[in-house]
Amino acid sequence: MKLQQLLSLTRKAVDEYNLIDEGDCIAVGISGGKDSLAMLYALSGLRRFYPKHFEIEAITVDLGIPGMDFTPIVELCNELKVHYTIVPTDINKIVFEIRKEENPCSLCAKLRKGAFNDAAEKLGCNKVAYAHHKDDILETFLMSLIFEGRIHTFSPKTYLDRMKMTVIRPLMFVDEANVIGFRNKYQIPVVKNQCPADGFTKREEIKQLVKRLQSQYPGFKERAFSAIINGNLDGWPPRMPGRR
C-alpha cells in the first residue's frame, strides 16, 4: 500500500465519522508495532493538508519489558516533526511478577490505557487516537459474540466522560494486509514486541478463525465488516458517507 492510499482511507474515516475538529490536539498511541506507526504516518501526513487544523502528540507507554528499544521511533518522530513522549512504567513487573496473571492481557491493557490517557491529558490533548484497523474491528465483534454473548465492537469515535476526552480510530477502513504492505514498502522501523504473552491470546485464536472463514467463504471479511458499519450498533456515531 502506498502512502497516498493510506492517507485516502484515513481521511475517509475522518470525514465520514467527523473524527477531527478544528484546533484538536490528538494523542497518538505508539506501541512500536506496524499499526501504530502506520497511523503516525497517516495523521502526520493528513495534518499537512486537511482543512481543519490539528496537532498531534506521539506517546509510548514503556511497559518495562527488557529488550525494548524505542530509539528508531525517536528518530522517526524527529523526521516527521512530531513531538514524542515515552512514559516509563512497571506494568510488566506488576502483571507478570507481582500479580502473576494467568490471563495478563486484560490487566496490562487497563494499566497501559490509564498511563496513556494520563500522559495525553498532561500534554493538553483533547483526543486520543488508537490504531485499530478493519481486522481489529471484525475480530473484536466476533470475540464479543463468541465469548460474551453480545453485539459489540470498537466504535470509530467514543467520548470518555471521566477523562473528558474523545477516542478516535482513524485506521478503521484499512485492512491489516494493507498495513503490512505499507510497512514493507516504506521499511517503517517496527519495534518487535517482547511481551511473553504475544501470540497466545484469544484475539489470536479469533484471527485464525477469520482466516479460515475467509478461505472457505471468499469475501466473508468485507461482508461482515459492511454488516458492522451498517448495523446501527449501540454507541456508534452517525455516518456521513460521501461527505467529501
Instruction: For 215-227, write each residue's pLDDT tens digit.
Output: 999 999 999 999 9
- The confidence score (pLDDT) of residue 25 equals 98
Averaged pLDDT for residues 89-100 = 85
Whole-prediction pTM value?
0.91
**Weakest mean pLDDT among 82-86, 94-98, 130-134, 177-181:** 94-98
The strand pair at 83-88 and 127-129 is best described as unpaired
Where are the chain's structural domains?
3-229
**CB atoms closer than 10 angstroms to residue 65:** 14
Choice between 12 and 235, residue whose per-residue pLDDT is larger: 12
Strand partners, 29: 59
Question: Is pLDDT above 90 for 81?
Answer: yes
Distance from chain centroid for Cα 119: 17
Q: What was the pLDDT predicted at 244?
A: 43
Interatomic CA distance for residues 135 and 64, integer angstroms: 28
> Which residues touch 85 (CB under 8 Å, ≥6 apart)?
57, 58, 59, 60, 119, 123
Residue 162 pLDDT: 82
Has residue 133 got a pLDDT over 80?
yes
CATH topology of domain 3-229: Rossmann fold (3.40.50)
Decide: residue 102, CB within 10 A, 0-12 exposed, 13-18 middle, 19+ buried.
exposed
Instruction: Tell me: pLDDT of 243 over 60.
Output: no
